[in-house]
Structures are given as structure tokens and as C-alpha cells.
Amino acid sequence: MWPAGAMVLLCAIALEFLAGCVPSSPRFNSDPASVARLEEENEMRFATRIREEEEREDDRKVDVDRVRTRLTAGTAPVTRYSNRTPAGLDRDRLLIDVVSYLGAPYVYGGNARDGIDCSGFTVKVYESGAARRLPRSAREQFTVGSPVPKRDLEFGDLVFFNTTGRRPSHVGIYIEDDLFAHASVSKGVTFSSLESTYYRKRFVGARRVVQPPTASSPR
């Protein structure tokens, strides 16, 4: 029989050896490529469920063509919106870019009009319409700017949702009257209502990304 002290020591050594042989958990891997790969696997795993839930619970259907016509015709309430938003964004410029993506199909990891995902959509619109570079993922975008209460949303604010059960996993751009533009898994780039059952119960917050003044802007 081994002495009790020796057995304890041997067990400790064995555990230390085994710990060194077990690869670290991916959750704690900070390598960007690994994080992106895990996010893609997570998205694909949840895609079917998300699509079914969107279609079943989106009980406030939006007539996208009617909204597009109204916005591009300049009939949005002028008392509420000016060309320059409180965050300093050019509303007309941003809106042109939002509308240009309508109908683009949802493709995870996509960033073009022939296929785009939710955070790719916000990145492209902000980059071309506001000259602002956002982080690539919804989770990272949730850390930029400043938080905005839902009741105080303004055109151009980023709105976030938890569609997978972990962290903000979906993002869109607030437009007006409880409507936001986003790349939906089931519909592609579209307008949806914040008050539909699906989005209302999954809403996790909003962020306002302030546009810094240009050299020619008044101080």
C-alpha cells in the first residue's frame, strides 16, 4: 500500500498532467479567427430555429414597399426628423444606403448586396452612409456608442436582440415609428416592427453612435 501522503501527491501530479493535455475551452479563446469560426457554427446551428420563430412570431407584418415609398418620397414627419440626426448622422445619406440593400438575401458572414448578414448590413450602411467603421459582430457593436432607452430611439440608432439565447446576436438600424431595418434570417434585408411579438420579447437594448464633427462643422 502506498502511504496516504504519497497517494495525494501522485493524484495531484496526475491531475496537473491531464490538465495540460486538455485543450483550452473555445469559450476562452481570444483568437479572432477562432471566435469568428465559433460564431459561424453557432449561427448555423440556430439558423433553422430562428427562421421558424421569425415567421411564426412576427405578428406585425410590415409592407416593405409602402414604407420604402413613404421614406424615399420624403413624407416622414418633418417635425421629428431633420436631415441631421441628434447623433450627427446624415439621415438622407444613411436612408439611401438602407433602401439600396432592401431585398438582399441573408447569408451568414456576407457583406454584399448578393448576400449579407445583420452585422454586415449595419457595417456597410454606417461605412458608406456615415463614414463610420463599426466592429464586425453584433456582440462587438453592442459595446460602441452610448446606450439609448427604447422610448428615446432616433433614426440611425442601433437596436439589438437576443435571438440565440446568448449575448446580443442580432442588430438592426432604427428608422421611425417603431420600425427598424435589418438583415432577417427569413426575409433578408427588410423593415420590421419593434412591437412584433418576436422582436419585442428579444429586444436587449440600443446604442447611439455619435458622428464626430468634421473640420467644416460649426463648433
**Structural domain includes residue 56:** yes
Using DSSP, state whether 9 is helix, strand or coil: helix
Q: Decide if pLDDT at 193 tops 90.
A: yes
User: Is 182 tagged catalytic?
Assistant: yes
Residue 20 falls within a domain, yes or no?
A: no
Does residue 12 form part of some domain? no
CA distance 162 to 70: 30
- Residue 169 DSSP symbol: -
Say which of 67, 118, 158, 209 is annotated catalytic: 118
Instruction: Give the position of cell 463599426.
Output: 134
pTM of the predicted protein model? 0.75
CATH of the domain at 107: 3.90.1720.10
Q: For residues 19 and 53, what is the distance between their CA atoms, to the nearest angstrom?
A: 41
In a domain, 25, yes or no: no
Bridge partner residues of 203 (DSSP): 161
Query: Is 166 tagged catalytic?
Result: no
Secondary structure element (H or E) that encloses residue 158, with its range:
strand 158-161
CA atoms within 13 A on the CB side of 92: 7
Top-confidence residue, 44 or 145? 145
Residue 180 identity (one-letter amino acid): F
Q: Does residue 21 have an active-site annotation?
A: no
Cell of 122: 449595419
pLDDT greater at residue 47 or residue 34: 47
Q: Is 2 contained in some domain? A: no
In a domain, residue 15? The reply is no
Residue tagged active-site, from 124, 132, 170, 207: 170
Contact predicate 136/123, CB 8 Å: yes
Q: To which residue does cell 469560426 refer?
A: 37
The better pLDDT of the pair 213, 97 is held by: 97
Domain carrying residue 71: 33-208
Q: Does residue 160 fall inside a structural domain? A: yes
Q: Which of 21-35, 82-96, 143-157, 162-176 has the lowest mean pLDDT?
A: 21-35
Question: Does any domain span residue 8?
Answer: no
Catalytic residue among 182, 202, 207, 208: 182
Number of domains present in the structure of the chain:
1
pLDDT at 154: 93
- pLDDT, tens digit, 9 for 90 and up, residues 116-147: 999 999 999 999 888 899 999 999 999 999 99
